[in-house]
Every structure is written in C-alpha cells, then in structure tokens.
Chain A
C-alpha cells in the first residue's frame, strides 16, 4: 500500500511537471496535421483507384480515425531511453540508487505520468484534425470506452520495450540506434499506418505473434470497431506480453546491477 502510493506520487509529480510543457507539446503537433493530411490523400487515392467503399470492413473515415489514434499512441510515448543513457553515463544513477525505491518502477511511474499529459494534448489535436477531415467517428461512445480500457496496458507494454532497450546502456555507450529500430518496429509491425487486418495474410500471423500489435493496432482498432470479445482477447495478450517482458527486464536489470556492482558501470 505504502509502496503503491510512492509510485503513484511519482506519476502525479511527473504529470504535473509535464503540464509546464503542454504548450510546447501542442506546438510540435503541426506535424501531426500534415501527416494525417497525407494519409488522407493516400487512402483517398487507394479507395478511388480500387473503386470500393471499404477494405476488410474499414471505410475511409474509419481508417483516418484509426490513424489518429495510432499517431496519438506513438507520438505521446515519452523518450525514456535517452534518460537511462544519461543516468548511466553521468553516474546520476547513483543518486537514484541511494533512494528507497526501485529504479525501473520509478521510471515506469514517471513515464506514465508524462505520457498521460502528452496523450491528452495529442488526442485533442489529432481528434480535432480527424474531425475536420472526415467528420465524427461512428460508434463513438462504445469505441471510446473500449479504447480507454485497452490503452493503459498498451502503454505499460510500450514502456517495457523501451526500458529493455534503455537498459542496454549499461553495456554499450549509446542506445539511440537500438531505440530508433525499436520505435520503427513498433510503428511498422504494430500497425501505425494501417490496421493489421489489412496486411497480407502471411504477415498477419507473424505480426500477431509479436507484442507490437497489442501496443498500437489493438487499442486503435477498438476505437473504430469496438468489440467486447476482441477486447477481452486483447487484454489477455497484453497481460501475457507484460509478464514476459517484465521477466526479461527483471533479469536484464539484475545483470545490470551486478555489472555496476563489479565494474562501476
């Protein structure tokens, strides 16, 4: 109980601290408008050239709303790897370790607090842009409820991936390259630009065996095609992957601590 309130307090403090940036986060989002506009043109062309009203049950409007949600998930993801890099390189990790708390949980709490603020700002812009481009989404109420249920675990899962990449800072000088590849995998294999259902079948089964789809495509799909059974399965896979990644993180982190204990990092 005490322990939980500790990390809750960290998350709240982090959110508060990021409210100071809210304007800046917002101002970076002109780009989001450009991206959504380009996607709109792209899919308009695809629909027109194929001369159909929908692909696998997705209409143009639904695809744009889907993209708006995936963009929010990806763009609001805080960059945790440079922070870990810096903590290790400058030795600031020392300051963190002499406090009575777990460093990975501290990063998780602080990350979620930050992402809450960033997500709120991003969703406001992305929502208004999508509204402007294609009008209100169908199934808004149920979709909103489903996506809100699917998001928290998706964000935790996303964080665990970045944390794992960041922990390599204990072994190599610079994890920015790995972080770039990881984030690109999340975008491409997670279905940021297109629902996983639209990928060629051969890819689909592969991608469903990877965690990325449960971070990006899964929740966004719930917004445009809400589906309580599917949501249950999604939550199940999210929990499964969280457990797997948490175990890997715990293992790597204990190795990292041993490494500093022996060699000072």
Chain B
C-alpha cells in the first residue's frame, strides 16, 4: 500500500454493509444485509475539486459519513488528510470544513458575526489571526453589511454565503459540500459556485462536492466520480466526460450513465439484498 502524502483523500477497497430490520406482519421483523458501498477505490490530490455524484441511495452519503469518521467501514481503508477518520475524528475535525445545504450551522436568531466568534472558540483560533481571517472572508464573500443582521432575516443566498465563509474560518484543508446550492435561485447559485471555485484555485483548498445539480459540477469541479449501487462506475475529468458525451448536456450524460448501470445490473445476481434471518 503506497501512501501518497500529497493526497487529501485516499480510499482503498472501502466497503460498508448495513444490517437492516425489515418489518413483516404486525410485530415480526427479519434481518437483512444491505451492501451500501462496495469496494470503492479512489484518491483525491490536495487542491483538487472533486464532484462525487450518483442517484439517491447510491452510497454517496454513506461514503461521506465514513470519510468524516462518523461511520466505521465494514472493510477497507481510508485516509483523510493523513488521518484515519473513524479513529482520529476529533483531530481531523480541526482541518476539515463542512457545509450541508439543508442544515445550518449558523444560530438562527443571532447575527452571523456571533456564530463566527463562537466558531473561533470552538476551533481554538488565535484571536489576532481569527480577526484577520474573518475580515478577509467577509470581504471576499461580500458579507460586510450582512454581518450584524440576525440570520433569520437573510435571504437563502446570503445565508449560504455566510455558511461557506463560516466553514472556512479555521482554514480547513478540505471542504465538504453537500448539496450547497439546493433551493437557491440561479443568481445566488452562480455566486456561490464562483466563490468556492475561486477559493479552490487561489488557496489550494481541496473541495469534495456532492450535488444533484449538474451546474455545481460543471462550475466547481475538475473531476467527477460517479457511484451507483455502491460501486464506482466512472472516475474521470469533467472535460473528458464532456468530450465523450459531446452534443449532450451533462445532465443527459449523467442520466445515461445511471441508466447503463441499471441495465447491466439486471443480468447479474443482485447482491444488495440478502436475507439472513
């Protein structure tokens, strides 16, 4: 096993099997195993912007939960910024940032600046450096006039800008973005994508993006990994993908790829559901 120190994320033969309880009858339950992630391999060099996509239930969020250390894999190996996530989660936490489009980390009734101050404490930031960093982020994310407005009064686009800025305060080396533009209007989407992209290019921030919005993928990522039924089905640069499916939109290309996968599945034994009890 070769560990490349320049990789932000390394994943080898990662596998996760869930035990599920299925209900049949009034109180009876039977156990079943569900393979959610099946021998996945990939690595992400530092500074790359990667889109990690797939249809619902493909194993995306299971993979992310393993990479953030919340879920322990059934088999395989992963390193994130040199840490084994499920063993060293609290150390790793100081170096990654996360934005989940559906759930806010900002305190709803307080201005964003209060959450920023709190995050500085949570991440043990040095006072002087924190102020410098905050001012820089406020400037680049154009948050100046919004900083002292209670978060509940911000528009969704403004709020998401503040969310991303908040997740960058502690200078993470890796930023996880989960559906960051969900619900935003076209203008706000574009603004957010540009900011993330800019930070990725200028600061060398590694970006790990999951999204159903092909616009996010095209505008932010240089590389795409597609996962379906728990397996990697494609790992290529966005450019190559575009070339290969010339004449089709990325959206059409993706649905084509998802569709292909379903067809080939049907000829094999379906490994996903095995009753065990």
A interface residues (Cβ-Cβ under 8 A, vs B): 2, 5-6, 9-10, 13, 16-18, 20-21, 90-95, 97-101, 260-264
Complex contact A101–B122 (CB within 8 A): yes
Residues of B with C-beta under 8 A to A260: 70-71
Partner of B150, one of A20, A95, A100: A20
Is there an interface contact between B65 and A264, defined as CB atoms closer than 8 Å? yes
Kindly list chain B residues whose C-beta atoms are within 8 Å of the C-beta of A94: 65, 68, 70, 98, 100
On whether the beta carbons of A6 and B124 are closer than 8 Å, the reply is: yes
Q: Which residue of B lies closest to A106 (CB)?
A: B122
Q: Which of B102-110, B134-142, B269-277 contacts A (4 or more CB under 8 A)?
A: B102-110
Contact B70 A17 (CB under 8 A): no
| Besides A17-B109, A98-B89, A100-B123, 9 other A-B contacts (C-beta < 8 A) | A2-B124, A10-B118, A92-B103, A94-B65, A95-B100, A98-B70, A98-B93, A98-B176, A264-B18
Which residues in window 81-114 of B have CB below 8 A to A? 86, 89-90, 93-94, 96, 98, 100, 102-103, 105, 107-110, 114
Bound complex: CA of A31 vs CA of B54, how far in Å?
52
Interface pair B121/A16, CB less than 8 Å apart: no
Residues of A within 8 A of B107 (CB): 13, 17
Pairs A–B under 8 Å by Cβ, sample size 15 = A6-B124, A10-B118, A10-B121, A17-B110, A17-B114, A18-B109, A90-B103, A91-B61, A94-B65, A95-B100, A97-B68, A98-B176, A99-B93, A260-B71, A261-B72
Tell me whether chain B's interface is mostly helix, strand or loop, or mixed. Answer: mixed
Q: Which residue of B lies closest to A12 (CB)?
A: B118
B123 to chain A, nearest CB (A): 6
Nearest chain A CB to B26 CB, angstrom units: 17
Given contact pairs A100-B94, A264-B18, A6 touches B122 in the complex (Cβ within 8 A): yes
Q: Which residues from A are CB-within-8-Å of B176?
A: 98
Q: Chain B contacts of A261 at CB under 8 A?
A: 70-72, 86
- Shortest Cβ distance from A18 into B: residue: B109
Scoring B residues 115 to 136 as 1 if CB is less than 8 Å from chain A, else 0, what string do you get?
1011001111000000000000
Shortest CB-to-CB span from A213 to chain B, Å, is: 35
Knowing A90-B103, A98-B68, A263-B19, the reply to whether A16 touches B93 (Cβ < 8 A) is no
Do A16 and B114 contact each other (CB < 8 Å), given the known contacts A9-B122, A99-B122, A260-B71?
A: yes
CB-CB under 8 A from B18, the residues of chain A are 263-264
Q: Total contacts A to B, CB within 8 angstroms?
A: 82
* Closest B residue to A86 using CB positions: B103
Distance of A264 Cα from B93 Cα, bound (Å): 19
Is B48 positioned at the interface, with any CB of A under 8 Å from its CB?
no
Q: Please tell me if the beta carbons of B121 and A264 are within 8 angstroms of each other in the complex.
A: no
Name the contact of B70 in the complex, choosing from A2, A6, A97 (C-beta under 8 A). Answer: A97
B200 within 8 A of A: no
Task: Give the residue name and chain of the B residue nearest to A10 (CB).
Answer: B118
User: A263 CB to closest chain B CB, in angstroms?
Assistant: 6
Chain B 15-47 interface mask (CB, 8 Å, partner A; 1/0)? 000110000000000000000000000000000
In the complex, chain A residues whose CB is within 8 Å of the CB of B61 = 91
Residue of A whose beta carbon sits closest to that of B70: A97
A-side contacts of B122, CB under 8 Å: 6, 9-10, 99-101
* B256 vs chain A, min Cβ distance (A): 30
Given A16-B114, A100-B90, A6 and B109 touching (CB < 8 A)? no
Instruction: For B121, list chain A residues within 8 Å (CB).
Output: 5-6, 9-10
A111 CB → nearest B CB, Å: 15
CB-CB nearest in chain B for A263: B18
Give the distance in Å from the alpha carbon of A263 to the alpha carbon of B107 in the complex.
29
Residues of A within 8 A of B114 (CB): 13, 16-17
Question: How far is it, in angstroms, between the C-alpha of A17 and the C-alpha of B69 when the chains are bound?
Answer: 30
Docked pose: A260 CA to B89 CA in angstroms: 14
Instruction: Say if the beta carbon of B62 comes within 8 Å of chain A.
Output: yes
Q: Are B70 and A9 in contact (CB under 8 A)?
A: no
Interface centre among A2, A5, A6 (most CB of B within 10 A): A6
B100/A17 in contact, CB under 8 A = no
Of A9, A90, A98, A260, chain B has the most CB atoms within 10 Å of the CB of A98
- Please determine whether B118 and A13 come into contact, CB atoms closer than 8 angstroms: yes
CA distance A6 to B94 in the complex (A): 14
- Supposing A16-B114, A260-B70 touch, asked if A95 and B124 sit within 8 A by C-beta, the answer is no
Closest B residue to A257 by CB, please name it. B70
- Give Cα distance in the complex from A101 to B105, angstroms: 14
A92 CB contacts on chain B under 8 angstroms = 100, 103
Q: How far, in angstroms, from A18 to B121 measured CA to CA in the complex?
A: 20
Is B118's CB under 8 angstroms from A100's CB?
no
Contact A95 B70 (CB under 8 A): no
Give chain B residues whose Cβ lies under 8 Å from the Cβ of A90: 102-103
Chain B residues, CB < 8 A from A263: 18-19
Q: Known contacts being A6-B122, A10-B118, A94-B65, is A262 close to B105, with CB within 8 Å?
A: no
